[in-house]
Amino acid sequence: MSKIGISRAGGVVTAIFDRPGKKNALDGEMYDALIAMLADAGRDPDIGAVVLGGAGGAFTAGNDLADFLVHLAEPRAFPALRFVRALAGFEKPLVAAVSGDAVGVGTTMLFHCDLVYAAPDAKFRTPFVDLGLVPEAAVSLTMPQRFGYARAAQYLLLGESFDAQDAFDLGLVVGLCDAEAVLGKAQEAAQRLATKPRAALLAARRLMRGDPSAIAARIEEEAELFIDALGDPQTKARMQAFFAQRKTQPSDRLA
């Protein structure tokens, strides 16, 4: 059974993180499926937008920690980095439907989405520093730009969580709706985007997002610091302790 449910309706592809027993924590297999989905959607002239969502009352609890630890010997090969690059470089609109936990990459990926809809129970957290790591997916650039430095420091440095109303007030989320309706709301918006004149839509999106080189450069800078941090024995100890704490619970997860 696939851990990424991919469906197509009209000009929209929907990808659902479907590993509810782990709160949809992402492993290498899931990242590979998402990368392939983005590549296919990018090439397909009939696809106008992509929707990301999560099954079972959660968006995603972040990287699967057990899978992450397997890749410590060769961190540059970990599919999470390839996924972040693919997401940041995707040229068509991205829409997200968030309910429940959005931890680590579950939050950082949203800064690459054009529209994010959230249920009232959505909770966002970026606990990288707490694990001895640095932020990823260029969120060290995009969050201060979107939220202002002080609020970004609250979430990236202190590691505090924020809820759906906070995300709406800060401009990460564009609409709040019931958990049962949030995916449908995102798909409706994506369908509207997919029916618009394609060349004009993509050109407007490029203009709004600005020079992509700054995002790409920050992703690579963060990745190098992230990899350096993984070589620190104290960081490894923190992650091992985190794993030991979580392994008896239903959602082993990492930022």
In this predicted model, what pLDDT tens digit does every residue of 65-110 receive, in sequence order? 777 777 766 777 789 999 999 999 999 999 999 999 999 999 999 9
Can you list the alpha helix ranges (DSSP code H) found in 148-211? Answer: 149-156, 164-170, 179-194, 198-209
Q: Indicate the CATH number of 4-246 among 3.40.50.300, 3.40.50.970, 3.90.226.10, 3.40.50.620.
A: 3.90.226.10
Regarding predicted confidence, which is higher, 182 or 250? 182
Domain spans of the chain?
4-246
Residue 202 pLDDT class (50, 70, 90 cuts) = very high
- DSSP letters, 7-22, are EEETTEEEEEE--GGG
Residue 244 pLDDT class (50, 70, 90 cuts) = low
Site of tokens 């709040």: 176
Residue 236 pLDDT class (50, 70, 90 cuts) = confident
- Helix 139-147 and helix 212-230, axial crossing angle in degrees, nearest 10: 120
For position 233, what pLDDT does the model report?
84
Average pLDDT, whole number, for the chain? 92
Q: Report the relative pairing of strands 123-125 and 162-163 from DSSP bridges.
A: antiparallel
Regarding predicted confidence, which is higher, 185 or 255? 185
Q: Tell me the average pLDDT across 171-180.
A: 97
For position 186, what pLDDT does the model report?
98
In the predicted structure, residue 245 carries a pLDDT above the cut 70: no
